[in-house]
């Protein structure tokens, strides 16, 4: 009897220990400091901090480490280094997409945090989107197009894994289609530019406007009309003009004597993933906790950018805003909502499994050690189950909340200017100088800015 008592007194400790051993969520203590560095635009120091914090990510969060370093290097305009890190993240996530059955089984017993992080569905597409923008920053249009094409390919592959009625709303990306059109136009591939612009218009009209409240920008329609005119697509032109009568049309021949400059504005911080939970009392006194993640918006004051450019030779000035083209916050929230029922179902199975294991442990303890030992096992198992039932709140924390774009068609020449970042009332929150630059006719120019507050 004595040996049996020793055996079963150790059982609750085993249950508690086995639950707790692999349930810990990753450390997030570095992020407040990183966010402060982002506020002051000290991107290089933020990169250094991530490198110094590498051990806190742990092996199962390797993808997050490379995602964080990759996007910080992008903000720092260190585009080659950024792509090296984003490629590492992409490789890890692709490999993990063919899931490990042993680790998946552990997640049904303990926590989703035991599984190596393979990224939210939308995050996997964002990797290729930012790699494309890195190539844009390097002036490598072909490299940018390769990565841009991967965005929709990635989304297509992901959605093909789900039953039709369970597929994600985020299945195509309007912003990347617009970028592709711009780059094809820069390379003189006008038919491909038309196809990309046309597809971008369709995505914004039928998808982004409906699901995220983001409508096609006027300059997208202008570029679409110019490409249609150049290709003599008269019927398509009439359809587009009828759908967007307010958009001014300028033909491509006129545009080819000009330059086009785009200002990409990364604004705010993307949503934060937090835990929601509920505790269900069972008839026998056990408490069962069910936890699942949800995204919540993070607040920021800047509404948009207001850009002013001045031709240093003619004195002509241009003033135009940045407009919303990619609402990453809404995409993230909707993307998680699309699969929340699958997450909740798994959480219920996990909680039920823990409950049954705990029930068996209590029964065995009562049999061997009496009422007192049974109560101790019941209490310990309940605490262990609740402590280890943690929602997986890992996510790519350093994404912007939105991508805005300002675009202008200007005469060749030398320019300088500034961008004012304004709030919803129009008050200027901060300003930055746009360094002097020159553009030639038919040239495409890109500038990228990051704001957090």
Q: Residue 304 forms beta bridges with which residues? A: 422
Q: Residue 287 forms beta bridges with which residues? A: 281
Report the distance separating Cα 127 and Cα 89, nearest Å. 8
CB-based contact 309:433 (threshold 8 Å): no
Q: Over the stretch 118-128, which tens digit does the pLDDT of each residue have?
A: 999 999 999 99
Q: Over the stretch 276-319, which tens digit does the pLDDT of each residue have?
A: 877 777 666 666 777 889 999 999 999 999 999 999 999 999 99
Ranges of residues in the chain with a pLDDT under 70 are 1-27, 99-111, 253, 282-287, 347-348, 350-363, 365-367, 369, 371-389
CB-based contact 45:413 (threshold 8 Å): no
What is the largest distance, in Å, between two alpha-carbon atoms of the chain?
Answer: 99
Round the CA-based radius of gyration of the chain to a whole number and report it. Answer: 27
Q: Over the stretch 201-242, which tens digit does the pLDDT of each residue have?
A: 999 999 999 999 999 999 999 999 999 999 999 999 999 999
Q: How many C-beta neighbours within 10 Å does residue 45 have?
A: 17
């Amino acid at each position: 009897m004595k040996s049996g008592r020793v055996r079963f007194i150790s059982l609750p400790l085993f249950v508690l220990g086995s639950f707790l051993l692999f349930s810990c969520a990753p450390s997030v203590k570095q992020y407040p400091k990183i966010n402060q560095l982002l506020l002051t635009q000290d991107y290089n120091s933020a990169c250094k901090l991530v490198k110094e914090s590498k051990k806190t990510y742990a092996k199962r969060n390797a993808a997050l480490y490379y995602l964080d370093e990759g996007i910080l290097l992008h903000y720092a305009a260190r585009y080659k280094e950024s792509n090296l890190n984003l490629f590492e993240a992409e490789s890890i996530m692709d490999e993990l997409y063919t899931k490990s059955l042993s680790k998946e089984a552990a997640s049904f017993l303990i926590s989703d945090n035991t599984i190596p992080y393979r990224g939210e569905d939308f995050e996997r597409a964002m990797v290729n989107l930012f790699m494309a923008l890195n190539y844009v920053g390097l002036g490598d249009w072909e490299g940018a197009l390769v990565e841009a094409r991967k965005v929709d390919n990635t989304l297509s592959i992901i959605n093909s894994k789900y039953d039709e009625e369970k597929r994600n709303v985020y299945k195509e990306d309007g912003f990347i289609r617009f970028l592709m059109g711009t780059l094809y136009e820069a390379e003189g591939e006008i038919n491909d530019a038309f196809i990309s612009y046309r597809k971008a218009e369709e995505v914004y009209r039928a998808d982004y406007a409906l699901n995220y409240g983001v409508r096609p920008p006027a300059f997208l329609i202008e570029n679409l009309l110019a490409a249609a005119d150049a290709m003599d697509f008269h019927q398509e032109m009439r359809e587009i003009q009828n759908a967007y009568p307010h958009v001014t049309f300028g033909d491509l021949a006129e545009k080819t004597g000009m330059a086009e400059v785009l200002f990409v504005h990364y604004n705010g911080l993307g949503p934060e993933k937090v835990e929601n939970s509920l505790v269900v009392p069972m008839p026998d006194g056990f408490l069962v906790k069910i936890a699942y993640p949800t995204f919540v918006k993070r607040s920021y004051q800047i509404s948009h950018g207001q850009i002013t450019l001045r031709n240093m030779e003619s004195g002509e000035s241009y003033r135009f805003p940045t407009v919303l083209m990619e609402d990453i916050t809404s995409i993230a929230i909707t993307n998680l909502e699309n699969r929340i029922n699958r997450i909740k179902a798994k959480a219920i199975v996990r909680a039920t499994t823990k409950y049954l294991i705990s029930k068996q442990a209590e029964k065995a303890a009562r049999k061997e050690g009496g009422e007192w030992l049974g109560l101790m096992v019941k209490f310990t198992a309940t605490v262990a189950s609740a402590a280890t039932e943690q929602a997986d709140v890992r996510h790519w924390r350093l994404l912007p909340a939105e991508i805005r774009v300002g675009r202008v068609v200007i005469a060749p020449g030398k320019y300088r200017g500034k961008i004012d970042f304004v709030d919803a009332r129009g008050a200027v929150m901060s300003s930055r100088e746009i360094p002097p630059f020159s553009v030639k006719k038919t040239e495409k120019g890109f500038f990228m800015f990051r704001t957090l507050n």
